[in-house]
Structure 1
Amino acid sequence: MNTQPGNNDNNELIGEEATLLIVDDDGPFLRRIGRAMESRGFTVELAESVAAGRAVIKSDPPKYAVVDLRLSDGNGLELIEEIRAAREDTRIVMLTGYGNIATAVNAVKLGAIDYLAKPADADDVFAALTRKPGEKVEPPENPMSADRVRWEHIQRVYEMCDRNVSETARRLNMHRRTLQRILAKRAPR
């Protein structure tokens, strides 16, 4: 899916080098977001796995990248590190259907400029990729519920314990099986 940039209005926002790597194991979403980013002026390279993403990074490190957190063959956080090692100026956005604050913080520490929860649309992705440093993001219209705040706290402690369920359960003073059930569920709204 390699095409040349076309939209002149967007070319000012993304610059001359508009190479974009999108890594996601959800094929239909990957192709849809790829087409949408091409229509906004990017030269898009698609990858459905960590291995395919690595191959693109090694052959031609992109100026922009959108990486899913959970991939069929690994973790998107690994790719952020590899992109940063290959090219320091790449603007990386992390995407995930399993959004939590701890992972977002980890992604930003590794070099991502933003973190978007799925289902993110093409406008959200484009805005995140082209946002100027220091530019503020609009506050959410619907803040987190108390259940979501609790879930976020559990995820943060889980990440701090290097994803060790037993240690996380001990620190949260929670039964290990209860914690496993919580971790297996999707985030509350």
Structure 2
Amino acid sequence: MTTTNSTPLYKNKLKRTIKTGMHALKLDDATYRDMLEQVSLRVSGKSKRSIKNMTIAELNAVIDEMRGKGFEVRRGKYQGGSTAAKKDNSPRLRDDQKQDKPMLGKIQALWITMHQQGIVKDGSDNGLSAFARRLINRERIKRDQPLVINLLGANDRELWQLIETLKSWQQRELDKQRLEKIKNELDDDR
């Protein structure tokens, strides 16, 4: 597995989420550190009372533990209920990343096409990342693997499955639209 420049950023995001969870659950320092120690021991066999040197798997396990205690992870800041378009702040795929994983360009193109066809409401990279996380992480949780935050963390098999899922979804929706169109034409002829 190659290390990317986004790994430290991802770890920092997980650490911020853990700190937010600590405050949301109103954990005192001793309880918080005991929880960190128990989770890290369970995940890696090493007792760690600080998140400073934890691995991504340990950090994800801490967040899962906090979720079990009632912490709800929220994405982004509150938008105030406005209907204005949300800012798309997801990481953009650079050309060199698309060359490393050519399926990423195919996935993006398919997602944008589905948005233009009215199948997908949010055609942004944020929307795509959210959909991919739900799909990929569901399987990773079953296999007790580290979760992905965006498509760059997915392997080729997961990307291929994502493409096939999107194509199947697109075909089903287009078939529904065609059937509805035929139905409307028959109703108009009567």
Same structural fold, with TM-score higher than 0.5 when normalized by the shorter chain: no
Higher helix share: 2
Which of structures 1 and 2 has the bigger CA Rg? 2
User: What TM-score do you get using the length of structure 1 for normalisation?
Assistant: 0.29
How does the TM-score come out when normalised to structure 2? 0.29
Instruction: Flag the structure with higher strand content.
Output: 1
